[in-house]
């Protein structure tokens, strides 16, 4: 497979940019080795995890590329009798050349479903709408880990808290979840009860307003 270009998605960049520079270099090299030379580089640890999530999209791109080289037409069955229709002699025939441009009709989200757990799509969608952006593969892995510790209502509450505080980040949301768990608050009902108690304590601690001095009445 000889190629002079390839498609690189923003979701790849978002997943890789949080890593150490040395790890970033390993993943970038693995991506381009696979795209240009067809070689599968062996990685370890977090690099292997992220590259494993990226591979299905690379394979989809390679398949589109190969189909483009063949003009996108299926191979003719050798045993199939096909009658060719000859063009009208007076007709100007236009020969259609195959399109080998990697960037034509590429949908950034064409293979995103490979990265998603179908059971968790509702929470992914909720977070993407709240944050007004698409989640990266590494963020999706983080959310999947939350779902093993917290129920979806608690996660949605933490997301809403992030939005209200203008902190639309996964790290801020995770901090909120850990804070709730540290307080032993595992349901929305428990969170509401705790909030009512806090409001009651604030009212009791509110200092009394000083009495006004009315000595001027005796003057």
pLDDT digits (tens, 9 = 90+) for 59-83: 887 777 777 766 655 555 545 554 4
Please, what are the averages of pLDDT over each run of 10 residues along the chain (219 residues)? Answer: 74 82 87 83 84 82 73 53 52 51 40 54 91 90 91 93 92 94 91 87 64 52
Distance CA 89, CA 186 (A): 78
Domain spans of the chain?
A: 1-73+100-115, 116-205
Nearest to 136 by CA among 160, 167, 171, 93: 171
DSSP state string for 11-63: HHHHHHTTS-HHHHHHHHHHHHHHHHH-------HHHHHHHHHHHHHHHHHHH
Helix (H, G, I), strand (E, B), or coil: what is residue 65? helix
The pTM of the full predicted model, rounded to 2 decimals, is 0.42
Domain 116-205 adopts which CATH fold? Arc Repressor Mutant, subunit A (1.10.10)
pLDDT computed for residue 159 by the predictor: 95
- Give CA 204 to chain center in angstroms: 46
Distance CA 77, CA 84 (A): 14
User: How many alpha carbons fall within 13 Å on the CB side of residue 146?
Assistant: 30
């Amino acid at each position: 497979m000889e190629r002079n270009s390839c498609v690189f998605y923003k979701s790849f960049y978002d997943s890789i940019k949080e890593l150490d520079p040395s790890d970033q270099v390993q993943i970038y090299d693995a991506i381009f080795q696979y795209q240009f030379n067809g070689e599968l580089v062996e990685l370890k640890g977090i690099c292997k995890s992220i590259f494993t999530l990226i591979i299905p999209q690379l394979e989809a791109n390679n398949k589109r590329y190969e189909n483009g080289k063949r003009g996108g037409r299926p191979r003719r069955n050798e045993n199939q009798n096909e009658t060719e229709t000859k063009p009208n002699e007076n007709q100007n025939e236009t020969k259609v050349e195959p399109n080998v441009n990697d960037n034509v009709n590429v949908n950034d989200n064409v293979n995103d479903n490979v990265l998603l757990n179908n059971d968790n799509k509702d929470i992914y969608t909720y977070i993407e709408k709240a944050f007004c952006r698409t989640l990266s593969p590494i963020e999706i892995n983080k959310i999947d880990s939350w779902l093993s510790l917290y129920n979806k209502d608690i996660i949605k509450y933490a997301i809403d808290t992030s939005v209200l505080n203008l902190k639309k980040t996964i790290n801020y949301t995770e901090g909120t979840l850990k804070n709730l768990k540290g307080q032993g608050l595992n349901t929305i009902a428990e969170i509401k009860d705790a909030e009512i108690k806090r409001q009651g304590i604030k009212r009791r601690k509110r200092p009394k307003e000083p009495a006004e001095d009315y000595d001027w009445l005796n003057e």
